[in-house]
Amino acid sequence: MYIFESPTRRRSRSRTQDGGQVTILLVGVVLAAAVAIVGLALIAQAMVDRTRARTAADAVALAAAVDELAASEVTDWYQERGAAVSRDGNRALASVGDSRAAAWATTDRTESLRTPALVAIMARANQLLATTIEPEQWDEFAIALSLADAARFRAVAPELGLCERAVLGHQSGRRTFALC
Protein backbone atom coordinates (compact mmCIF):
# COMPACT_ATOMS: atom_id res chain seq x y z
CA MET A 1 0.00 0.00 0.00
CA TYR A 2 1.25 3.39 -0.95
CA ILE A 3 1.01 6.34 1.34
CA PHE A 4 1.65 8.81 -1.41
CA GLU A 5 0.33 8.02 -4.88
CA SER A 6 1.56 9.87 -7.87
CA PRO A 7 -1.09 11.96 -9.75
CA THR A 8 -0.69 9.84 -12.93
CA ARG A 9 -1.41 6.65 -11.03
CA ARG A 10 -4.62 8.12 -9.56
CA ARG A 11 -5.81 9.30 -13.01
CA SER A 12 -5.18 5.92 -14.64
CA ARG A 13 -7.14 4.13 -11.92
CA SER A 14 -10.17 6.45 -12.25
CA ARG A 15 -10.23 5.96 -16.04
CA THR A 16 -10.42 2.22 -15.80
CA GLN A 17 -13.27 2.43 -13.29
CA ASP A 18 -15.42 4.60 -15.69
CA GLY A 19 -14.79 2.49 -18.78
CA GLY A 20 -17.82 0.23 -18.26
CA GLN A 21 -20.25 3.16 -17.94
CA VAL A 22 -19.24 4.54 -21.33
CA THR A 23 -19.84 1.14 -22.92
CA ILE A 24 -23.37 0.95 -21.51
CA LEU A 25 -24.11 4.48 -22.71
CA LEU A 26 -22.77 3.66 -26.17
CA VAL A 27 -24.94 0.51 -26.38
CA GLY A 28 -28.00 2.64 -25.46
CA VAL A 29 -27.23 5.21 -28.17
CA VAL A 30 -26.74 2.48 -30.79
CA LEU A 31 -30.05 0.82 -29.82
CA ALA A 32 -31.91 4.14 -29.99
CA ALA A 33 -30.42 4.81 -33.44
CA ALA A 34 -31.43 1.33 -34.62
CA VAL A 35 -35.02 1.84 -33.44
CA ALA A 36 -35.15 5.24 -35.19
CA ILE A 37 -33.84 3.72 -38.44
CA VAL A 38 -36.42 0.92 -38.35
CA GLY A 39 -39.20 3.45 -37.69
CA LEU A 40 -38.09 5.65 -40.56
CA ALA A 41 -37.88 2.62 -42.86
CA LEU A 42 -41.48 1.66 -42.02
CA ILE A 43 -42.70 5.20 -42.66
CA ALA A 44 -40.78 5.36 -45.95
CA GLN A 45 -42.25 2.03 -47.08
CA ALA A 46 -45.77 3.25 -46.29
CA MET A 47 -45.11 6.36 -48.38
CA VAL A 48 -43.88 4.24 -51.28
CA ASP A 49 -46.97 2.01 -50.99
CA ARG A 50 -49.22 5.06 -51.01
CA THR A 51 -47.54 6.39 -54.17
CA ARG A 52 -47.86 3.00 -55.89
CA ALA A 53 -51.54 2.81 -54.95
CA ARG A 54 -52.15 6.31 -56.31
CA THR A 55 -50.35 5.43 -59.55
CA ALA A 56 -52.35 2.21 -59.94
CA ALA A 57 -55.68 3.94 -59.30
CA ASP A 58 -54.85 6.75 -61.74
CA ALA A 59 -53.74 4.33 -64.45
CA VAL A 60 -56.83 2.13 -64.14
CA ALA A 61 -59.24 5.10 -64.06
CA LEU A 62 -57.63 6.69 -67.11
CA ALA A 63 -57.62 3.39 -68.99
CA ALA A 64 -61.31 2.92 -68.13
CA ALA A 65 -62.09 6.37 -69.54
CA VAL A 66 -60.48 5.41 -72.85
CA ASP A 67 -61.34 1.76 -73.38
CA GLU A 68 -62.88 -1.03 -71.31
CA LEU A 69 -60.45 -3.64 -72.66
CA ALA A 70 -57.46 -1.43 -71.82
CA ALA A 71 -58.84 -0.94 -68.31
CA SER A 72 -59.09 -4.70 -67.82
CA GLU A 73 -55.51 -5.19 -69.02
CA VAL A 74 -54.15 -2.46 -66.76
CA THR A 75 -56.12 -3.84 -63.80
CA ASP A 76 -54.75 -7.34 -64.44
CA TRP A 77 -51.19 -5.99 -64.78
CA TYR A 78 -51.36 -4.28 -61.37
CA GLN A 79 -53.03 -7.27 -59.72
CA GLU A 80 -50.23 -9.55 -60.98
CA ARG A 81 -47.82 -7.28 -59.13
CA GLY A 82 -49.64 -7.51 -55.81
CA ALA A 83 -51.96 -4.51 -55.94
CA ALA A 84 -55.58 -4.96 -54.96
CA VAL A 85 -57.51 -3.03 -57.61
CA SER A 86 -61.27 -2.72 -57.99
CA ARG A 87 -63.20 -0.81 -60.63
CA ASP A 88 -66.65 0.66 -60.97
CA GLY A 89 -66.97 2.30 -64.37
CA ASN A 90 -64.45 5.15 -64.55
CA ARG A 91 -63.65 4.90 -60.85
CA ALA A 92 -60.80 2.84 -59.45
CA LEU A 93 -59.68 1.93 -55.94
CA ALA A 94 -56.24 0.47 -55.37
CA SER A 95 -54.34 -0.68 -52.28
CA VAL A 96 -50.72 -1.79 -52.21
CA GLY A 97 -48.17 -3.29 -49.82
CA ASP A 98 -48.22 -4.51 -46.25
CA SER A 99 -49.50 -1.16 -45.06
CA ARG A 100 -52.48 -1.58 -47.44
CA ALA A 101 -52.10 2.07 -48.44
CA ALA A 102 -55.12 2.96 -50.55
CA ALA A 103 -55.95 5.55 -53.18
CA TRP A 104 -58.83 6.18 -55.53
CA ALA A 105 -59.19 7.97 -58.83
CA THR A 106 -61.96 8.84 -61.24
CA THR A 107 -62.32 10.51 -64.59
CA ASP A 108 -65.93 11.48 -63.85
CA ARG A 109 -66.56 15.20 -63.69
CA THR A 110 -67.71 16.32 -60.26
CA GLU A 111 -70.66 18.60 -59.70
CA SER A 112 -68.62 21.36 -58.11
CA LEU A 113 -64.97 21.78 -58.89
CA ARG A 114 -63.86 23.40 -55.68
CA THR A 115 -60.12 23.49 -56.10
CA PRO A 116 -58.18 23.99 -52.88
CA ALA A 117 -56.73 27.27 -54.17
CA LEU A 118 -60.15 28.80 -54.81
CA VAL A 119 -61.52 27.55 -51.48
CA ALA A 120 -58.57 29.24 -49.72
CA ILE A 121 -59.06 32.44 -51.73
CA MET A 122 -62.75 32.56 -50.82
CA ALA A 123 -61.96 31.97 -47.14
CA ARG A 124 -59.48 34.87 -47.23
CA ALA A 125 -62.01 37.10 -49.04
CA ASN A 126 -64.57 36.39 -46.33
CA GLN A 127 -62.00 37.38 -43.69
CA LEU A 128 -61.05 40.61 -45.47
CA LEU A 129 -64.64 41.63 -46.10
CA ALA A 130 -65.89 40.45 -42.67
CA THR A 131 -68.85 38.82 -44.36
CA THR A 132 -69.71 35.55 -46.07
CA ILE A 133 -69.69 35.45 -49.84
CA GLU A 134 -70.97 32.18 -51.25
CA PRO A 135 -70.25 31.53 -54.94
CA GLU A 136 -73.26 30.45 -56.97
CA GLN A 137 -71.07 28.30 -59.19
CA TRP A 138 -67.55 26.90 -58.92
CA ASP A 139 -65.29 26.07 -61.83
CA GLU A 140 -61.71 24.81 -61.81
CA PHE A 141 -60.20 28.28 -62.00
CA ALA A 142 -63.22 30.58 -61.63
CA ILE A 143 -66.22 31.38 -59.48
CA ALA A 144 -69.58 32.96 -60.35
CA LEU A 145 -71.04 35.42 -57.86
CA SER A 146 -74.39 37.17 -57.60
CA LEU A 147 -74.33 40.84 -58.62
CA ALA A 148 -74.58 41.96 -54.98
CA ASP A 149 -71.69 39.72 -53.87
CA ALA A 150 -69.65 40.69 -56.96
CA ALA A 151 -69.93 44.38 -56.06
CA ARG A 152 -68.39 43.70 -52.62
CA PHE A 153 -65.88 41.14 -53.94
CA ARG A 154 -64.36 43.62 -56.47
CA ALA A 155 -62.70 45.46 -53.57
CA VAL A 156 -60.47 42.49 -52.67
CA ALA A 157 -60.32 40.48 -55.92
CA PRO A 158 -57.05 42.01 -57.25
CA GLU A 159 -55.32 41.45 -53.90
CA LEU A 160 -56.37 37.79 -54.01
CA GLY A 161 -55.23 37.25 -57.60
CA LEU A 162 -58.68 37.11 -59.18
CA CYS A 163 -59.81 39.13 -62.19
CA GLU A 164 -63.34 39.75 -63.34
CA ARG A 165 -63.86 38.25 -66.77
CA ALA A 166 -66.50 38.57 -69.41
CA VAL A 167 -68.20 35.33 -70.27
CA LEU A 168 -69.96 34.77 -73.58
CA GLY A 169 -73.52 33.71 -73.04
CA HIS A 170 -73.27 35.35 -69.62
CA GLN A 171 -76.25 34.62 -67.43
CA SER A 172 -77.89 37.74 -66.07
CA GLY A 173 -77.50 38.20 -62.37
CA ARG A 174 -73.99 36.72 -62.15
CA ARG A 175 -70.42 37.94 -62.47
CA THR A 176 -67.44 35.62 -63.01
CA PHE A 177 -64.02 35.98 -61.36
CA ALA A 178 -61.09 33.84 -62.49
CA LEU A 179 -57.47 33.40 -61.49
CA CYS A 180 -55.44 36.13 -63.22
Domain edges within the chain: 21-106, 116-179
Dist. CA 132–CA 50, nearest whole Å: 37
Q: What does the pLDDT look like over 34-51, one tens digit per residue?
A: 999 999 999 999 898 888
Q: State pTM to two decimals.
A: 0.48
Of all helices (H) and strands (E), which one includes residue 61? helix 7-66
The strand ranges marked E within the chain are: 84-88, 91-96, 101-106, 137-138, 142-146, 162-165, 174-179
The CATH number that domain 116-179 falls under is: 3.90.1070
Below-70 pLDDT ranges, the chain: 1-19, 108-113, 167-171
Tens-digit pLDDT profile for residues 125-156: 989 998 888 888 888 788 999 989 999 999 99
Distance CA 151, CA 168 (A): 20
